[in-house]
Amino acid sequence: MAAGAKRVEQLDRVVIRFAGDSGDGMQLTGDRFTAETAQLGNDISTLPNFPAEIRAPAGTLPGVSSFQVHFADYDILTPGDAPNVLVAMNPAALKANLSDLPQGADLIVNTDEFTKRNLAKVGYATDPLEDGSLNGYAVHPVALTSMTVGALSDHGVSKKDAERAKNMFALGLVCWMYSRPYESTLRFLERKFAKRPDLVAANKAAFQAGWNFGETTEDFAVRYEIKPAKMRPGTYRNITGNQALALGLVAAGVRAKLPVFLGAYPITPASDILHELSKHKRFGITTMQAEDEIAAIGAALGAAYGGALGVTTTSGPGVALKGETISLAIALELPLVIVDVQRAGPSTGMPTKTEQADLNMALYGRHGEAPLAVIAPKSPSDCFHAAIEAARIALTYRTPVILLSDNYVANGSEPWLLPEVGELPDLTVSYASAPNGPDGKFLPYLRDPQTLARPWAIPGTPGLEHRIGGLEKADKTGDISYDPANHEFMVRTRAARIEAIEVPEVEIEDPDEGARVLVLGWGSTYGPIGAACRALRQRGLPIAQAHLRHLSPLPANLGEVLKAYDKVIVPEMNLGQLAHVIRAKYLVDAVPFNQISGLPFTAATLESMLEDVVKNG
């Protein structure tokens, strides 16, 4: 696999999209290309996109699976708006993705799949490879399937297994095109097929065949190089949002010196958190796959009552089922982290697509006056720090915390700088160990004057016997109380406890300090908003950006910040939920800009909209 003498060009950034049937291994192909790219030190952002079905109908538009990776020699914020290279494994993949491809882009097409039957299946009356409709692109016809089968003819594998390896042929070709290393992919194949040495050899051979094809064919006259990005010194790993969130929960348990208990019911796109946490038992992690969502949060709340950091993970439909127990946790005033990896709804909706439509449910979706804390990570690597912050708030203030991730950040990936353990916040908490009231009594609702948190008393501690349950409690004693004045006091106190949570002030990014338009975002809109604002500033248009991690309580200085600008724009992947909150709370004319397509914003979409606002008001 030595490099040949073909011309090498330097690029600063590239966006590549692999697309094919959900059974073609496009997610694996993209993941391996990303891993190799990460080893070279490029900055990376990825966007997996796949059907909800395990094996969607082959050769159809709904069955197309894709993986987009954006890599560069500088800091990037998004997976890219449009691919510079599209690898299309069949006509469906071509048709589903061609509209995103700019003129002049490279188009690598698996010609073996362009049969009359496959063309007709997606509505092609003529073969686009022959009718001139692709003349605006740099088309590279490659018989991926037959070349892979030919390369594996002496490896003793079935034709079906040989055809399955065509994604490795494509990966080898693209790795050659962009001068990617390949050693870690070969090691990955050895691990993945350890029980099938024949498949190890076959997939390695397919990868090498793809690499060699790029090296020898006249169709690819140029290779490309992208230099490493300038990053802070340290150790990095490529990480998805779900992996980062799971490791953040592990770190929170270590820094709190507490066991972590996860009660979870599998649901897309949150299941990977359960899978990742189950690997870390040596750090005091206990995971339980419950029979349903209600059992999962019930077990997590029981663990919190017993002195653990209780966690439950789900998506929107699961949060709806957990609502009653979340209200119970608010009444009990116990620490609990509820992770909601949002997806497109309502109901089952589009399980593998992204949305930010659970904000209202997180803020208000419970019976009675039941406030809690809500935070949202802005990127895959930020999920690590958001998980630690959620644990800090839950443990310090004895409250449930909803962590609003979404499918975009959960399955996307980027480089993550591994922190030093000593740099992480100290989350150590103290259990109640002795009676705290007069006459040697224990008062379970005698509050800390600063945090308004009640004592955390572990069942079985001598002298700390107390009541627990969903009926209203009397102030200090915790006895059941139906007294109207006490109820009003307790409701207001629980609300005041949430408002007492210390959160950082919102920071403004306004390099020119002359902007009159502020773009306010939350969660995964950070990247597209940041990229759009960066592009506008490079063209001399002043614009400010602010991003919210804490959604309940909101930062103390937010109202002052909002009123300092003539116009506030709030892009969201919903119908304007944060914008409505901002308008109601601060009486600011926040203007929503909404998208509910199941896909994240593109930077170009936001740039065009914001340019019009800045220029025309």
Beta bridge partners, 7, equal 222
Name the 3-class secondary structure at 293.
Answer: helix
Q: Are residues 111 and 47 in the same domain?
A: yes
Query: At what angle are helices 26-39 and 166-177 packed, to 10 degrees?
Result: 30
Cβ neighbours for 142, distance < 8 A, ≥ 6 positions apart: 108, 109, 110, 111, 173, 213, 219
Give pLDDT, residue 442. Answer: 96
pLDDT higher than threshold 80 for residue 55: no
* Residue 98: both structure tokens together: 């061609």
Residue 304 phi, psi dihedral angles, 5° rounding: -65, -40
pLDDT higher than threshold 90 for residue 2: no
Q: What is the pLDDT of residues 237-261, one digit of tens each?
A: 999 999 999 999 999 999 999 999 9
Distance of CA 405 to the CA centre of its chain: 6
Res. 195: pLDDT tops 80: yes
CA–CA dist 340, 362 (Å, integer): 9
Q: Which residue has the tokens 């060009």?
A: 9
Instruction: Tell me what the pLDDT averaged over the chain comes to.
Output: 96
Q: Is the peptide bond before 346 cis (omega within 30 degrees of 0)?
A: yes
State whether 409 and 261 are in the same domain.
Answer: yes
Q: Indicate whether 495 belongs to any domain.
A: no
DSSP β-bridge partners for residue 52: none
**Predicted TM-score (pTM) of this structure:** 0.95
Q: Cβ(265)–Cβ(294) under 8 Å?
A: no
- Only one residue has tokens 């150790």, namely 235
Within a domain: 469: no
pLDDT at 264 over 90: yes
To 5 degrees, how large is the angle CA 340–CA 267–CA 403? 10
Q: Of the residues 423, 452, 481, which one is the last residue of a structural domain?
A: 423
202 shares its domain with 244: no
User: Tell me: the pLDDT tens digits for 73-100?
Assistant: 999 999 999 999 999 999 999 999 999 9
Q: Please indicate, yes or no, whether residues 216 and 270 belong to a single structural domain of this protein.
A: no
CATH number of the CATH domain containing 279: 3.40.50.970
CATH at 568 = 3.40.50.920
My answer on whether 218 and 257 are in the same domain is no
Residues 220 and 290 in one domain: no
Burial (CB count within 10 angstroms: exposed 0-12, middle 13-18, buried 19+), residue 168: buried
| 80, 116: one domain | yes
Q: What is the dihedral of CA 340, 341, 342, 347, to 10 degrees?
A: -70
Does any domain span residue 331? yes
208 and 78 fall within a common domain: yes
Q: What pLDDT sits at residue 4? A: 52
Query: Rounded distance, CA 542 to CA 512, Å?
Result: 6
Confidence of residue 1 (pLDDT cuts 50, 70, 90): very low
Residue 344 lies in a domain: yes
The Cα 308–Cα 249 span in angstroms is 12
- CATH number for the domain that contains residue 139: 3.40.920.10
Last residue within a domain, chosen from 200, 226, 252: 226
Parallel/antiparallel/unpaired status of strands 222-226 and 544-548: unpaired
Contact between residue 390 and residue 338 where contact means Cβ atoms under 8 Å apart: no
What residues pair up with 139 in beta bridges, in sequence order? 107
| Low-confidence winner among 4-8, 322-326, 474-478 (lowest mean pLDDT) | 4-8
What is the percent of the chain where pLDDT is above 70?
99
Query: Residue 139 above 60 pLDDT?
Result: yes
pLDDT band at 512 (very low <50, low <70, confident <90, very high): confident
Sorted by sequence, the CB contacts under 8 Å of residue 421 that are 6+ apart come out as: 251, 254, 255
Q: Looking at residues 289-304, what average pLDDT do you find?
A: 98
Instruction: Give the pLDDT mean for 425-430.
Output: 96
Task: Write the pLDDT tens digit of every residue in 9-23.
Answer: 999 999 999 999 988
Residues 138 and 195 in one domain: yes
Q: How many domains does the chain have?
A: 3
**Residue 303 predicted with pLDDT over 80:** yes
51, 177: one domain: yes
Whole-angstrom distance, CA of residue 121 vs CA of residue 114: 11
d(C-alpha 494, C-alpha 398), whole Å: 10
Could you report the per-residue pLDDT of 532-590, keeping only the tens digit for each? 999 999 999 999 999 999 999 999 999 999 999 999 999 999 999 999 999 999 999 99
Q: Residue 611 sits in which domain range?
A: 508-616
Model confidence pLDDT, tens digit, residues 333-375: 999 999 999 999 999 999 999 999 999 999 999 999 999 999 9
- Work out the number of other CB atoms within 10 angstroms of the CB of residue 12: 10
| Any domain includes 456 | no
Whether pLDDT at 281 is above 70: yes
Position 493 pLDDT exceeds 60:
yes
Structural domain contains residue 440: no
Is-contact 8 78, C-beta < 8 A?
no
Q: Counting beta carbons within 10 angstroms of the beta carbon of residue 4, is it exposed (0 to 12), middle (13 to 18) or buried (19 or more)? A: exposed
User: Other C-beta atoms within 10 Å of 3: how many?
Assistant: 11
Residues 416 and 537 in one domain: no
Nearest Cα to Cα of residue 110 among 136, 62, 145: 145
pLDDT at 497 over 50: yes
Facing residues of 415 across strands? 238
Q: Is 397 left (phi over 0), alpha (psi -120 to 50) or beta?
A: alpha
Choosing from 423, 441, 476, the residue where a domain stops is 423
CB within 8 A of 323, min separation 6: which ones? 365, 366, 367
Query: For 458-467, what is the mean pLDDT?
Result: 93
**Shared domain check, 214 and 146:** yes
* Structural domain contains residue 447: no
Is residue 229 helix, strand or coil? coil
Question: Cα angle at 105 between 100 and 107, to 5 degrees?
Answer: 85
pLDDT at 294: 98
pLDDT at res. 57: 87
